[in-house]
Structure 1
Amino acid sequence: MNIEISEVANLPSRFGDFKVKVFKVGCKEHLVIFKEPIDEIPIVRVHSECLTGDAMGSLKCDCRDQLEHALMLASKTNGMVIYLRQEGRNIGLLNKINAYALQDQGLNTIEANHQLGFDADERTYEIVPFILEHFGIKRIKLLTNNPKKVLSLSGIDIVERVPIIMKSNPHNEGYLNVKKESMGHLL
């Protein structure tokens, strides 16, 4: 795997003063946001890009709420957010919006992905161990509700899974229910 790594830069934010670094694999540029000095066993959020939620404030998901919560925790605990560029569970923005259109017609998030020829979740996490090793991190507290994410990071010593439960709203209740009942998320 050919990986380009940026320098470290300052990122003052409304959540705190962070450092940032980019890990580029092919055409994907993954951002790592961290508070120094990084805790010996840091809280780490592996967050997949969600332009509609993270940047546009979509109420169809809980992504922005999770990201903001993770950044607040990282700031308070000298933790880390690994922001992976894999939009729409790694089906891309165009396909994600097509999936949204199918959801508007009554399909759930999994059915919409299947209708478009994708698995329910196409995300991968092979860059995460490399990033953690780069920072000298051996053990983490993983901020997630997704047991499959825990399993996919099997080479990492996860000492604790920290839940990240956000309030639902009328626009994302069905989505969160599908994540819980069909995808095994611990909500």
Structure 2
Amino acid sequence: MSDVVCEVIAQLPTKYGTFEAHGYVDQRSGEHHVALVKGDIADGEPVLCRVHSECLTGDTFGSLRCDCGEQRSRAMRQIEKEGRGVFLYMRQEGRGIGLINKLKAYVLQEQGMDTVEANLALGFKDDERDYSAGAMILQDLGIKKLRLMTNNPTKIDGLNEYGLEIVERVPIQMPINPFDKYYMQTKQKKMGHMTTYEV
């Protein structure tokens, strides 16, 4: 039996289109995650997928310090356009360090640190996320092969590690703005993100 259990399935009309919202509970942590499903995804064919980590500041408040909100919008539009796919929303705020610690990291960034240095200064790894729950959710949905919307090689490795085959990486690069330029460059330079920003 999986450690991540689907508790409810509901229709979710959004401004991007109507999705089927699968609500999951991680029995290990008690955390809740949501998979927004479009079309027939359990037919064995590779599935367009975005595994998106929660970002309250970007997704909800429209923060310009990151590209998370723009990536969420682009991914949901792309899945709707194709008529088939999954947008998986994982509750692992701030690369897994939580909202308050993310805000503390913002303060350190305002003092001159980059995102990696700020996380390390707070006693965390540069990225604390765990992709096991995400992999279990995708497998529960009947998915074996992914066309993954990401720039992050760690996410690809993390999902591969749990038996999912990434058959294609679909780039999802957003334009830089003056508030997130250093952040985007740091992800590319220090975390190996597959983007093409000038650094």
Q: TM-score, normalising length from structure 1?
A: 0.96
Question: CA-to-partner distance for each residue in 1:51-103, whole Å, 9 max, x for gaps?
Answer: 00000000000000001111011111211111100000000001000000111
Q: Which residue does 2:181 correspond to in 1?
A: 173
Given the alignment, which residue of 64, 71, 80 partners 1:66?
71
Moved more, 60-69 or 147-156: 147-156
Matched to 2:39, the amino acid is E
2:11–2:19 Cα contact (<8 Å) kept: yes
Q: Which residue in the other structure is 2:124 paired with?
A: 118
Work out the CA distance in 2 between the residues paired with 1:166 and 1:157. 25
Deviates more, 1:50-59 or 1:148-157: 148-157
Aligned to 2:86: 80
Deviates more, 1:34-43 or 1:78-87: 34-43
Where does 1:85-96 land on structure 2 (aligned, <5 Å)?
A: 85-96=91-102
Contact 2:120 2:126 (8 Å CA) reproduced: yes
Separation in structure 2 between the aligned mates of residue 3 and residue 121 of structure 1, nearest angstrom: 22
Q: Secondary structure at the match of 1:52?
A: helix
45-54 or 25-34: which moved more? 25-34
Q: Distance in 2 between matches of 1:79 and 1:5?
A: 18
Q: Does 1:140 align with 2:175?
A: no
Q: Within 2, Cα distance between the matches of 1:94 and 1:81?
A: 25
| 1:2–1:137 CA distance, 2 compared to 1 (3 A) | closer
Shift of 1:138: 1.5
Deviation at 1:29, TM superposition (A): 0.4
The question of whether the paired residues in 1 share the 8 Å contact of 2:4 and 2:136 is answered with no
**What residue ranges of structure 1 are gaps of 5+ in the alignment?**
none
Q: For 2:135 and 2:93, how far apart are their aligned partners in 1? A: 20
Instruction: State the match for 2:165 in structure 1.
Output: 157
Q: Report the CA distance between 1:4 and its aligned residue.
A: 3.2
**Aligned partners of 2:11 and 2:20 also within 8 Å:** yes
Give the direction of change, closer, same or farther, for the CA distance of 1:135–1:4 in structure 2 (3 Å limit).
closer
The percent of aligned pairs where both chains have the same amino acid is: 46
* Preserved contact between residue 4 and residue 133 of structure 2 (Cα < 8 Å): no
Distance 1:180 1:81 in 2: 23
> What SS does the corresponding residue of 1:46 show, helix, strand or coil?
strand
- Structure 2: gaps (5+ residues): none
The equivalent of 1:22 in structure 2 is 23
In structure 2, what is the Cα distance between the partners aligned to 1:126 and 1:37?
A: 23
